Every structure is written in structure tokens, then in C-alpha cells.
Structure 1
Amino acid sequence: MKKIEAIIRPEKLEKVSEALLEKGHYGMTVTEVRGRGAQRGIALQFRGKEILVDLIPKVKIEIVTEDEDLDGIVDIIKEYAHTGKNGDGKIFIYDIEKCLTVRDS
């Protein structure tokens, strides 16, 4: 089993989620997060002054899946979260040693 963590732009969440549902991938956890990468923040204009926002709002999608579904899920995230600009996000993949269902414990 693998765990996918994808940090993407908030405005791309709906498209990514819909595409995953269409392909039969239902389970995910979504968290609102803030961070920065190569983008190093953005400058915004507010009441005539420039304000540096160094932690950009993002969403983190977490999905645990079987190994054989990994590439398909990653491809969906890459396709639907992509804009081609800095700040599109990152995808991290981890090995899962064990998964337990709380209901069955």
C-alpha cells in the first residue's frame, strides 16, 4: 500500500476530486494548509501598499491506495492540478506498512 500526499492550489481541488471520483477513487482526506516553495510568497496590493504574503494557502490531499492504483491516481492529480506556473504543488509518496480500520478493532 502507498500513501499519496498532494499539495495543490485550492482552486484545483474540485476538479481533482471530481476526476478521482469518476475513476472510482473515493477515499481521501483534505486539509487546508499554508506554505511556500520556490515561489517564496507573493506580493499583493492592498489600499495602495504592497504586502508580501510569504505563506500561500494550499490544500493537502491524502490518499491511501493499493500499489496497482498508484500511477493512475498520481496521473489524475498531475493532470487536473497543473497550471504550468510556480506554486502548482508537490506530490509525495510513502510506503504504508499496515492499515487498520477502527470500526473493526
Structure 2
Amino acid sequence: MGASKTHIFSLPQNELAQVAKVLAHPARIAILEYISRQENCICNDLVDVIGLSQPTISQHLNEIKKIGLLKGTFEGKNLCYCINKERWEELQQSFNTFFTNINYNCC
């Protein structure tokens, strides 16, 4: 579907679709799982853990940041990441609402 058709859908529908699109890549899921299990922000160890090149990791991090799931801070030359807890909970609620409003009695 072309981007020009997104105007016919509601803002929540467009947002949920955009989040789902970002989460549809297994590397991004692996990155989020790894970051979410850390006690502190992570800086440079994603390349070794995930097994992808630094530019590829950076591209995935940028996509995840676009939907607000990551916070970043500069420490020296390093950009350190952690999960944006408020956004994580907001998206969790959006998906929960979507999945619990399904009518299973149709067939």
C-alpha cells in the first residue's frame, strides 16, 4: 500500500502499523531483547552480541528510536542506549487493546 493511502486510516491505526513494521525485523527484536535485559544503558557491545556490522546496528537503532522505544545519551564518544519505559508501556497498552478487542465468535 502506498504512503498516500495512510490518510484514510485513523492515527492509532497508522501508529500501530508503523510500530509493527519496525518490530517486524528479527535484528530489531534481538536488539530490543538485549537492551531490555541490561541493568544499565549499553554503549558499544551490540556488534559482538547481535553479530551484525556497526553500520547495520546503527540503522536498526535509528529505526527503533523513530518509534520512541529507545533513549540515548552521549558518554564521551559513545552513544549509550536504554529502553524508554514510558513509551514501551504505552505501546504495550496499544497492542493489548488491539488484541483484546477481537471478536472470536464470527465463525
Q: TM-score per shorter chain, which class?
A: under 0.3
The normalised TM-score by structure 2 is 0.25
The structure with the greater share of residues assigned to helix is: 2
Using the size of structure 1 for normalisation, the TM-score is 0.26
